[in-house]
Structure 1
């Protein structure tokens, strides 16, 4: 238990929360753009949304926003109103930014392995921004954050297992080389979260 005086001193202001939401979602969205250009994907609902875009041509942002809707009920029941509102804002911003960034950024060439590693790094860093300000990126991250808060399992480990299911689904959509490159990015993303987002390491509250 953190003493009240320390807890109050470390509590995030609403301006700090807004900054974290913007910075974190921009990082995640930029990672998504790298993945879209390289035709790779990641785990979780973001990865599922990428696979649906590759298979159908529908917009990632719209898919990502829609598939997360059912998870807000769990978020409200388990994590509270504040977490749910922040997560809804984060998912909405990622959906918007990913759409805008694809219009603002273009690549003549991007190496898929570099895109997978760099994109996974950016998304992992962005998610830590959000986690530390009591927000998620929807879907599996809501469950992951809940399990970590209850000290049942680290967020990174849970997400690694969940991601395995989504990553395996890629064999039905993309060439096997793209799937293997995507696995590399998913490992990078989850190692970043597992090693940098541990209970007791960060005492910020919101």
Structure 2
């Protein structure tokens, strides 16, 4: 099924309502915001547009929340034309909410000690869970996630596989400006997230929408 083809009719009991969508988008972005806080405090990176935002943040000191929102702007046209207006609008709301939460978190929570290995594993699982919540309610966090979900819907390529390739490629390119140890932990986090999505997000398994 292509992204532009109509979805099969579902019984009303299986369809997501506005309240269900709202709580899923909020929960998903909260999980991801927590993961990004762990990465930021342990000096780790992430792939995709978030990784680009982190690199610029580390190099310039500009807040990640603002950078993440701006870096994602070019991807909305692709999402609108390939994934539909509902997906695009929900993605825009999720990105905006995540940007706001990332700006808020330093004022409400701080971790005094954080082992980078623990941050990589827990952060990867939080990222995978948050992205799964959003994907099952026709949303994403922009950038590479839009591309990976499109590849899954259009060509049957698992979103987790595509996400892992994109994320690890971005992280490996960051070796030019980031120490090897930090990049290695960041790659581990990307693999943990992508394997989680690879196993959990399969086309046709989840029919509610």
Q: Distance in 2 between matches of 1:47 and 1:69?
A: 15
* Greater mean alpha carbon deviation, residues 27-36 or residues 97-106: 97-106
Taking structure 1 as the reference length, the TM-score comes to: 0.95
What RMSD, in angstroms, separates the aligned Cα atoms of the two structures? Answer: 1.4
Q: Distance in 2 between matches of 1:19 and 1:11?
A: 14
Q: Distance in 1 between matches of 2:185 and 2:128?
A: 17
One of 85, 93, 105 as aligned partner of 2:109? 105
Q: Which residue of 2 aligns with 1:134?
A: 138
Q: Distance in 2 between matches of 1:88 and 1:7?
A: 28
Deviation at 1:173?
2.1
Tell me the number of residue pairs that the alignment of Structure 1 and Structure 2 aligns. 204
Deviation at 1:47?
1.4
Q: Which residue of 2 aligns with 1:16?
A: 20
> Any stretches of 5+ residues in structure 1 without a counterpart?
none
* Greater mean alpha carbon deviation, residues 41-50 or residues 31-40: 41-50
1:1-206 matches, within 5 Å, as 4=9, 6-205=10-209
76 and 3 in structure 1: CA distance in 2 versus 1, 3 angstrom threshold = closer
Runs of 4+ in 1 over 4 A off after TM superposition: none
Taking structure 2 as the reference length, the TM-score comes to: 0.94
Q: Distance in 2 between matches of 1:180 and 1:7?
A: 46
Q: Distance in 2 between matches of 1:3 and 1:72?
A: 25
Q: Distance in 1 between matches of 2:150 and 2:138?
A: 11
